[in-house]
Amino acid sequence: MNQFPRWAWVPFWLGIAFLAIPLAAMFVRVPWSALPELLASDRAQDALRLSLLTCLMTTAIVLLLGVPLALVLARSRRPWVRALRTLVTVPMVLPPVVAGLALLTAFGRRGLIGAHLSAWGIDIGFTTIAVVIAQTFVALPYLVIALEGALRSAGSRYERVAANLGASPSRVFWRVTVPIAAPAIASGTALAFARALGEFGATLTFAGSLQGTTRTLPLEIYLLRESDSDLALALSVVLIAVAVVIVAISTKLSSGTGERVVAHG
């Protein structure tokens, strides 16, 4: 028995077609036979390596900062903490170029903080660090929002019980909160990684574009449109493939962990 009206199938298939056709069109145009050779080129290898390296660094930072940040946002009752929740979502809705300009005015050589760093001989612009900063700025909110929502709807019953039984706050965090939130942490991490992988505008504006140093996959694809559209398509396919794999893994992880928690409960 269907739990929805039969007419919903019409917009369903329209929506699916709308999303699938552009992807299918691109897959038709990709020069599959030349793909291995294209992807073995220096430019492709450098872009792939740099993207994976920076995204892994970004994901590590996002986890370190994001999990405690989401926990405080979800649990603290202080009014100013609630106000900060709005701030956390801002990078999600900023146009990427604006995010880049914001980072430039903060960490650029003539920026608020960057000017002082520059006086100490530390220049961030045009380095791989700048890429990681740009990616972290846009990716962090994705983990925080996903995790904060999950912690909020899970409630704090188990944490309170654990605390009443004498567990220290840190012990409660590691033994109760993290296992309960594991599915949300996994999916939030996947979102953050995918957002970092796709980061384009802020990197271009803030970090620049040099092969092997700052030119990540999206920047290389954007540039290659001008000169080698075959390689641009090939790298696009790689980008999509990586994103699909990440989604698949995180969906598997989150459902798997969820079942385990239920089984233990």
Partner 1 sequence: MTAIRFRSRFHSVALSAFVTAAVAASITGCQTQAGPPGDSPNTANTTNTIGTNPDAQTPSADGATIFAAASLSKVFPLIESNVNYSFDGSSGLVDQLAGGAPADVFASADKANMDKAVAAGVIEGDPVMFATNHLVLVTPADNPAYITGFDSSLDGTRLVTCAPDVPCGAATARISESTGLTLAPVSQESSVTDVLGKVTSGEADAGIVYATDASGAGKKVLTFEIPGATDDPNTYWIAQVKDAPHPEAGAAFIAAITGPGSAQLQQFGFGPAK
Contact by Cβ (8 Å): 47, 216? yes
Write out the H or E segment, with its range, that includes residue 175. Answer: none
Is the CB of 82 or the CB of 225 nearer to partner 1? Answer: 225
C-alpha to C-alpha distance for 100 and 263, rounded to whole angstroms: 46
Select 105 or 156, whichever has its Cβ closest to partner 1. 105
- Is 217 among the residues that bind partner 1 (CB under 8 A)? yes
CB 205 within 8 A of CB 104: yes
User: Alpha helices of the chain — where are they, by DSSP H?
Assistant: 9-29, 35-39, 42-75, 79-93, 96-107, 114-119, 128-154, 157-164, 169-172, 178-198, 201-206, 217-227, 229-264
Q: Which of 108, 148, 176, 257 binds partner 1 (CB under 8 A)?
A: 108
Angle, CA 175 vertex, CA 174 and CA 176 arms, to 5°: 100
> Within positions 48 to 67, which residues make up the interface with partner 1, using CB under 8 A?
none
* Binding of partner 1 by 141 (CB under 8 A): no
What count of Cα atoms within 13 Å lies in the side-chain half-sphere of residue 135?
33
> Does residue 221 interact with partner 1 by CB under 8 A?
yes
In the DSSP assignment, the letter for residue 259 is: H
When asked if residue 89 is in the footprint of partner 1 (CB under 8 A), the reply is no
The nearest distance, CB 221 to partner 1, in angstroms, is 6
Structure tokens at 169: 């706050």
Number of residues that bind partner 1 (CB under 8 A): 52
* Residue 172 engages partner 1 in binding (rule: CB under 8 A): no
24 binds partner 1 (CB under 8 A): no
Would you say 70 or 104 has its CB closer to partner 1? 104
- Candidate residues 57, 84, 222, 261; the one interacting with partner 1 per rule CB under 8 A: 222
Binding site for partner 1 (CB under 8 A): 19, 96-97, 104, 108-110, 123, 125-126, 142, 153, 187, 190-191, 194-195, 197-201, 204-205, 208-211, 214-215, 217-219, 221-224, 226-228, 236, 239-240, 243-244, 246-247, 250-251, 254-255, 258
